[in-house]
Structure 1
Amino acid sequence: MTELPVVVIGAGPVGLAAAAELAERDIDTLVLERGHAAGAAVSEWGHIRLFSRWADLTSPAARTLLTSEGWQHPDGNSYPTGADWVERYLRPLAAALGSRVRLGTEVTGVARTGRDRVVDSGRADEPLAVHIRDRDGTETRLEARAVIDASGTWQAPNPLGADGLPATGERAAADRITYRVPDVSTPAVRDRYAGKHVVIAGSGHSAMTALLSLDALTERHPDTRVTWLLRRDELGDTFGGGEDDQLPARGELGMRARSAVNSGRVTVVTGFRTEHVTRDRHGRLVLTSTSGREVTAADEVIALAGFRPDLSWLSEVRLELDPVLQAPTELAPLIDPNVHSCGTVYPHGERELSHPEPGMYVAGMKSYGRAPTFLALTGYEQVRSIAAALAGDHAAAERVELTLPETGVCSGSGGVAGPADEQVDTACGVPTGPSAPAAPARTAS
């Protein structure tokens, strides 16, 4: 099987870093990306400014490859937007990888060739089968010596419903609910929220970014009203580490959000776990909590309760996942948000990311399952270790080549509803809002 390629799923930051690591070791690689361009998911939050510096957003192997093509690293101490990250790093990296990257190709399933997940006999001797669907709908399959799933979690946001499933009526109200931080700088989006009663649900950095965007909107449209729903029973350390946060832009975000709340411009409702969504006689939304409390007359809802991995198309490979976090069982204790912030997660690699299915890896944000805190640097170290193992360099695979910053309060918890109860989309090393560098909201996975 060594003559077969390693298939990487996803041409985002970690997927492309994996391809660069594999290319550096002369391992045949194919990156499959369902989007029309590299960094497609990042482009969807391109208006957000990251609170990781450029120095922490490029992988070593990628820098080596890009430099050989004449690329110049952006100022390491500046903070890019998602769009900057795509245009100045991800797409040049995909171009440098050339034919190794195939766009417009969706992976619909991964299995062991000729074996469903039940069959033991001869399993380890067969390659992995990757089932794909091209842009024109043509379905084919290809064989791989190994698969690195770096597809992320962006396409699987958590619902508004507090029990992990959509609240009753949530789907029917889809025209009034979004699960992304809106870009209110664009006229169409601004018109959707200006002068309306907007409810923001969530306690992570995405929610605070949306809160600050809407708070700024109230200055130009004073009749805009913002209600912030938190499942936790008190604000507690929701606003993070402030000046003690070693990611300064993230600390600034929390301080700005605290200021907006203290000003009285934002109505905060704590201990609110949404159970039902209905419409009043004017078509506006009514949110009802598990305790029967109501938030009424909502024109729009922005639900920002984190993300989860889509494991449906991996049902035929043998994954060993933690029953709580849906992360690899060896990794889960290292990233449990009840215990760790992203600054206390130990660097980890191929050993922690291995599964009973030989050659099958889940890397990047998706490897964290439902844990909310993730650094791009962590993903780069993951795929460096995996590439080393696939090359037979087990000493390098075991070696730690990463020192994480001590990043202060990452996910935070307040009252009885801690991070395990509410999946906060903090994702350390992630975006800040339109003005630099502040207001983070989305993961660098």
Structure 2
Amino acid sequence: MSDTPSLHDSLPVVVIGAGPVGLAAAAELAERRIAFRILEAAPAAAGAVSAWSHVRLFSPWRFNVSEAAARLLGPTGWQRPADDVHPTGGDLIRDYLAPLAAHPALAPHILYGAEVVAVARAGTDRVRDAGREALPFLVRVRREGGETDMLARAVIDASGTWSRPNRTLSGGLGALGEDDPAVAARISYAVPDVFGAKRARFAGRRVAVLGAGHSAIGTLLDLARLAEEAPGTAIHWLLRADRVESAYRSGENDQLAERGALASDMAGLVATGRVAVRTGTRIALLAAEGGSLAIHTDAGGRLDVDELVVATGFRPDHAIAAELRLALDPALECPAALAPLIDPNQHSCGTVRPHGHAVLAHPDAGYFIAGMKSYGRAPTFLMATGYEQVRSIVAHLAGDAVAAADVRLVLPETGVCSTDRKSEDAPARGGGCCGARPAAARVLETQA
């Protein structure tokens, strides 16, 4: 089965998303002189990264630069950042992604403000077999002026999961009342900049943080630093698990030092009593009552706060591919062949084996999901993994079978991403392992 029928070789490869992995895919395509188009919903490259620009990555620069991108940028005078430095999201954009998106080999092919609303086989639906493989892809794009269609020889979806955070109930449902506008106004998701741009919203307020992953812990550490400067800031850590230790175990064994330090810092903070820990907490109802946000639990408890941060991870949205034939794992919502390699019950970030186009393929040949979205609900993704994914995919599209099959990846092994489904709040339910810590959290003196 061919992913690139000769009939459609003149059509571009469409890349969805101009984030780190999407731009890496573009660099690979440019290097192999394959026509491409990048569709980015935001008004500039790295729209999702800009939302967490205050956050410092766990992984240093040596894991965050695509080699194809480095080869492209080298002749322009671009200076590669020092390998052992940990960038913030803002650093990643300024020192790497923005120059890459502006490169003459990429810039003319990026369409900003372009939301992909559907991908299908041109002229048919997912039910029909006849002639399916010979049809190009049709990509429907919504822009300010309306919707347009474009044809593609292949599609690489690197749109990520940032726009679809999990909600307050285990399993991803919102608690009763979560969608009430008065309640929603007091809820933040993922990693709000509590010490910076959103400081006024949290300073001197009663704040609850739900989640046991690294995003939750990083936010708690920043809130603790804020509390040092803003008296009256009260911090509550809500955990579904019955023991707090499961949230920061194995920190000292993490080969990504920044991530290991995050867990160690949190353990120290809990020991000081500066964060009120509430284990076994399962939110049943949220209500705006008496000028506060009332958090009602399924055990009949109640906690009144001013703000709630929900840091329970993300999930993929496959709605755009409703008319394609996808092979998705029923639990993780990732490509079916990838699921055994990334199952967080068995694997950490560093124990995931390298994988490429063959593992990421779907029954509708030529459609690939890469980057964070390829991992579905698994939190074990690292940026370098996405770079190797798209290198293999593009080599495959170029007909270079040897390079496409030669997948290699060196990652730091760690145990902190591994989890146990007995603990509902373990990192498999929480933030992504490729995530990071708020930059301000690094200066907390809680290690002693």
- Structure 1 and Structure 2 fold alike (TM over 0.5): yes
Rounded Cα–Cα distance in structure 2 between residues aligned with 1:66 and 1:224: 45
Deviation at 1:69, TM superposition (A): 1.8
Q: Is the 8 A contact 1:46 1:82 kept in 2?
A: yes
Q: Is the 8 A contact 1:193 1:300 kept in 2?
A: yes
1:228 to 233, 237, 254: 237
2:443 counterpart of 1:433: no
Residue 238 of structure 1 is matched in structure 2 by 247
Find the residue that maps to 1:351 and give its secondary structure. Answer: helix
Residue 410 of structure 1 is matched in structure 2 by 417
Aligned residues: 433
Deviation at 1:246, TM superposition (A): 0.3
Residue 346 of structure 1 is matched in structure 2 by 353
Rounded Cα–Cα distance in structure 2 between residues aligned with 1:360 and 1:310: 15
Deviation at 1:415, TM superposition (A): 5.3
Deviation at 1:436, TM superposition (A): 7.7
2:187 to 162, 177, 189: 177
Deviation at 1:414, TM superposition (A): 8.3
Deviation at 1:432, TM superposition (A): 2.2
Find the residue that maps to 1:379 and give its secondary structure. Answer: helix
The C-alpha deviation readout for 1:16-57, integer Å capped at 9, x for no partner, is: 001111111111111110111111110110011111111110
Q: Is the 8 A contact 1:233 1:415 kept in 2?
A: no
2:227 counterpart of 1:218: yes
Q: Is the 8 A contact 1:152 1:364 kept in 2?
A: yes
- Higher mean displacement: 266-275 or 366-375: 266-275
Residue 201 of structure 1 is matched in structure 2 by 210
Q: Is the 8 A contact 2:345 2:418 kept in 1?
A: no
Match runs of 1:104-183 below 5 Å: 104-134=113-143, 136-172=144-180, 173-183=183-193
Residue 278 of structure 1 is matched in structure 2 by 287
Deviation at 1:137, TM superposition (A): 3.3
Find the residue that maps to 2:37 and give its secondary structure. Answer: strand
Structure 1: stretches of 5+ with no match in the other structure: 440-445
Residue 48 of structure 2 is matched in structure 1 by 41
The C-alpha deviation readout for 1:266-311, integer Å capped at 9, x for no partner, is: 111112122211233x131222223x24232111100000000111
Deviation at 1:104, TM superposition (A): 1.4
Deviation at 1:259, TM superposition (A): 1.0
Deviation at 1:223, TM superposition (A): 1.4
The C-alpha deviation readout for 1:60-87, integer Å capped at 9, x for no partner, is: 1000001022211011111111011011
Q: Label 1:14 to 1:169 Cα distance change in 2 as closer, same or farther (>3 A).
A: same
Find the residue that maps to 1:403 and give its secondary structure. Answer: coil
Match runs of 1:388-399 below 5 Å: 388-399=395-406
Rounded Cα–Cα distance in structure 1 between residues aligned with 2:37 and 2:254: 39
Residue 289 of structure 1 is matched in structure 2 by 297
2:266 counterpart of 1:261: no
Q: Label 1:29 to 1:414 Cα distance change in 2 as closer, same or farther (>3 A).
A: closer
TM-score (norm 2): 0.93
Rounded Cα–Cα distance in structure 1 between residues aligned with 2:349 and 2:258: 15
Deviation at 1:371, TM superposition (A): 0.7
Deviation at 1:327, TM superposition (A): 0.4
2:377 counterpart of 1:370: yes
Residue 3 of structure 2 is matched in structure 1 by none
1:28 to 9, 32, 35: 35
Deviation at 1:239, TM superposition (A): 1.0
Aligned residues: CA RMSD? 1.7
The C-alpha deviation readout for 1:187-211, integer Å capped at 9, x for no partner, is: 6x22211221101000000000110
2:201 counterpart of 1:192: yes
The C-alpha deviation readout for 1:209-268, integer Å capped at 9, x for no partner, is: 110111111111231111101111212331142222100011111111111111001111
Residue 341 of structure 2 is matched in structure 1 by 334
Q: Is the 8 A contact 1:260 1:266 kept in 2?
A: yes
Q: Is the 8 A contact 2:239 2:425 kept in 1?
A: no
Find the residue that maps to 2:245 and give its secondary structure. Answer: coil
Q: Is the 8 A contact 1:343 1:405 kept in 2?
A: yes
2:12 counterpart of 1:2: no
Rounded Cα–Cα distance in structure 1 between residues aligned with 2:420 and 2:277: 16
Name the aligned partner's letter for residue 84 of structure 1.
D
- Higher mean displacement: 405-414 or 91-100: 405-414
Find the residue that maps to 1:287 and give its secondary structure. Answer: strand
2:407 counterpart of 1:400: yes
Structure 2: stretches of 5+ with no match in the other structure: 1-7
Deviation at 1:434, TM superposition (A): 2.0
TM-score (norm 1): 0.94
Find the residue that maps to 2:429 and give its secondary structure. Answer: coil
Rounded Cα–Cα distance in structure 2 between residues aligned with 1:274 and 1:162: 9
Deviation at 1:160, TM superposition (A): 1.0
Find the residue that maps to 1:302 and give its secondary structure. Answer: strand
Rounded Cα–Cα distance in structure 2 between residues aligned with 1:5 and 1:32: 12
